[in-house]
């Protein structure tokens, strides 16, 4: 528990540092980050306990890149608060379905969803329910809660979640709860931005499983993108902003995985390798084989 308290304090300090870095490096980021090719809408969803203000700077950055970027309009994200997960998602679909359709109609194009933590879980499941109006999903530190794996998350945050929502992680996980990502449904891109220094959710729990990325077809790419960022600071990190802008600008046809090399020429490649460490292979291959055999 003490270790988790230290992690939480480190998260808060690190997020402040990332906010300062985004303010100091804003000029460089504005010059190198790709812009929207044509007018597209982006709907952002905050993380657990976070208000819509937590996404203001990300939305502003995307607006300057040419997107119509708006928050979800539902205020602070308090989770299901004791509701059955499926019923809770039904409510979310009613609240956000018309909003997505209106944005899609206004831009004559489906809407991209960018969700942080629990917001990314909502985005993932809403995309399955509202596929015709969703272009792609980008998740920032969002757990997949794989049904055959138990990961250790920050117990302080997990305890608060259980108290508010009256559900344990195991009760919300699996096929009846927080579904892990499928390889081909829905048929649109899914990007999981994960961090090796995430102090709230275990990094491997946010990773799309290797067997899913391997099975994904050209119409439904599944990508893990590793960025050096705190969990709380992902919505203000300049490295995450650059990755989000790059993935939003990537064409769905002929999808290519994220390559930061073009943004960090010459001597800056050392910085590139530090802030975008390679994803590598998922750990514990024996467990991966067990999961594959269980499908």
CA distances from 175 to 139, 144, 181 (A): 19, 11, 11
Asked if residues 192 and 142 have their Cβ atoms less than 8 Å apart, the reply is yes
In the chain, where the domains are located? 2-294
Q: Tell me, what DSSP letter sits at residue 141? A: S
CATH topology of domain 2-294: Rossmann fold (3.40.50)
Q: Tell me the pLDDT tens digit for each residue of 176-225.
A: 445 567 888 899 999 999 999 888 888 888 899 888 999 998 889 999 99
pLDDT tens-digit series, residues 248-263: 999 998 899 999 999 9
Each residue of 25-59: pLDDT tens digit?
778 898 999 999 889 999 999 998 889 999 999 99
Q: Are strands 111-116 and 190-194 parallel, antiparallel or unpaired?
A: unpaired
**pTM metric for this prediction:** 0.85
pLDDT at 282: 44
CA 224 to chain centre: 10
pLDDT of residue 286 exceeding 50, the answer is: no
Task: Compute the average pLDDT of residues 155-182.
Answer: 53
**What is the arithmetic mean of pLDDT over 274-280?**
87
> What is the C-alpha to C-alpha distance for residues 203 and 227, in angstroms, rounded to an integer?
11
Q: Residue 162's pLDDT is what?
A: 52
The percent of residues in the chain predicted with pLDDT above 90, rounded, is 51
């Amino acid at each position: 528990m003490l270790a988790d308290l230290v992690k939480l304090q480190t998260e808060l300090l690190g997020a402040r540092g990332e906010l300062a870095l985004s303010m100091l490096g804003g000029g460089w980021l504005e010059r190198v980050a790709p812009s929207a090719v044509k007018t597209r809408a982006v709907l952002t969803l905050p993380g657990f306990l976070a208000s819509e203000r937590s996404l203001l700077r990300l939305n502003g950055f995307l607006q300057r890149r040419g997107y119509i970027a708006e928050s979800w309009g539902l205020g602070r994200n308090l989770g299901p608060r004791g509701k059955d997960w499926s019923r809770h998602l039904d409510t979310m679909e009613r609240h956000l379905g018309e909003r997505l359709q209106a944005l899609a109609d206004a831009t004559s194009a489906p809407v991209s969803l960018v969700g942080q933590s629990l917001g990314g879980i909502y985005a993932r499941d809403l995309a399955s329910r509202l596929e015709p109006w969703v272009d792609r999903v980008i998740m920032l530190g969002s757990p997949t809660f794989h049904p055959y794996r138990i990961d250790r998350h920050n117990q302080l945050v997990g305890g608060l979640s259980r108290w508010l929502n009256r559900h344990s992680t195991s009760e919300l996980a699996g096929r009846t709860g927080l579904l892990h990502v499928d390889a081909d449904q829905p048929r649109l891109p899914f990007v999981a931005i994960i961090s090796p220094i995430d102090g709230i959710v275990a990094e491997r729990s946010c990773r799309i499983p290797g067997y899913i990325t391997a099975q994904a077809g050209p119409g439904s790419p599944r990508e893990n993108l590793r960025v050096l960022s705190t969990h709380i600071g992902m919505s203000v990190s300049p490295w995450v902003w650059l990755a989000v802008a790059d993935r939003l600008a990537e064409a769905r046809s002929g999808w290519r995985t994220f390559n930061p090399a073009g943004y960090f020429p010459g001597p800056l490649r050392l910085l590139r390798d530090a802030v975008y460490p390679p994803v590598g292979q998922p750990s514990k291959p024996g467990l991966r084989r067990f999961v594959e055999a269980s499908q």
